[in-house]
Amino acid sequence: MIPNILIPLATQNDQRPIIYKLNQTYAEAICRAGGNPIMVARPDDQTLQELLSTIDGILLAGGHDVDPNTYGEEKNEHTCNVDQDRDRVEITLARLAQEKNIPILGICRGLQVMNITLGGSLYQHLTTDLSGSLTHDMHDGQKRNFLAHEVEIKSGSLLAQIYGGGKAMTNSLHHQGIKRLSNKLTASGATSDGLIEAVELRGHPFYIGVQWHPEELLDEPSTRLFQAFIAAAKNKNAGTKAF
């Protein structure tokens, strides 16, 4: 059985016409790990519910900023290109994944959506809002696989089982990040400036978010992360942990 992985498309709304899109690397990473990506646009909530019976896992990809209203804050001048309909779709999926034990992997914005869904909040701009912040936004002038910083992986976490514990060198393509961590989530990785860069939901078969972009890296830990996600998706209806 090849597990179907639902991926809401990102929105490119800083130009006209507005485009729904997905970087090729996400789909390739899912395929390499043995899954089948199923891209969707903006289904209504009822359609989303029905779609869930046909899929085995959910991937929340990167993209533009989430509307700060979703975590009770006013939008400041650094938050841009909000798509409230994408926020609705992804927050609904992150909630349903929690409730129904559906394996879910959140990448970059995806991790942020998971944290917001479960009651956390974001820094709207790390450079100005997180004192002593490292340089996390490598969008300008660097390749997307540029290894920007270390992430300390918390021992005892699911992520440590996958990454082998210790430190991981990762890329970094984000200007926002977790401010208040959801009290349901566990921090499983952080950078030296104190920013939480990985989260997981204990007791769930696979509810993992990472702030970096493993789909752009072809190293072994990134490969194992996608393999573990697809293994959990294959196991979705078995009701047991995949690893």
The site for Mn ion (CB under 5 A) is made up of 136, 172
Q: Is 108 a catalytic residue?
A: yes
Q: Is 81 exposed, middle or buried (0-12, 13-18, 19+ CB in 10 A)?
A: exposed
User: Which of 125, 174, 213, 216 does the annotation list as catalytic?
Assistant: 213
**Phi, psi for 87 (deg, rounded to 5):** -55, -45
Is the CB of 86 or the CB of 136 nearer to Mn ion? 136
The active-site residue out of 90, 108, 174, 204 is 108
- Report the residue closest to Mn ion, judged by CB: 172
- Residues 7 and 5: their CA atoms lie apart, in Å, by 6
Give, as one character, the DSSP assignment of residue 68.
G
Amino acid at 183: N
Name which of 23, 27, 104, 11 is nearest 65 in CA terms. Answer: 11
The residue from 90, 197, 215, 216 that is catalytic is 215
Rounded least distance, CB 47 to Mn ion, Å? 34
Which of 84, 192 has the CB closer to Mn ion?
A: 192
**Any catalytic annotation for residue 215?**
yes
| Residue 136 falls in the annotated catalytic set | no
Cβ proximity to Mn ion, 136 vs 154, nearer residue: 136
Report the nearest approach of Mn ion to the CB of residue 136 (Å). 4
SS3 122: strand
CA distance 229 to 243: 10
Q: Encoding tokens for residue 233?
A: 């998706």
Residue number with CB closer to Mn ion (93 or 107): 107
> Cis before residue 37, ω within 30 degrees of 0?
no
Q: How far is the CB of 211 from Mn ion (least distance, A)?
A: 5
CB of 193 to Mn ion, least distance (A): 9
Give the residue numbers annotated as catalytic, written as ranges: 108, 213, 215
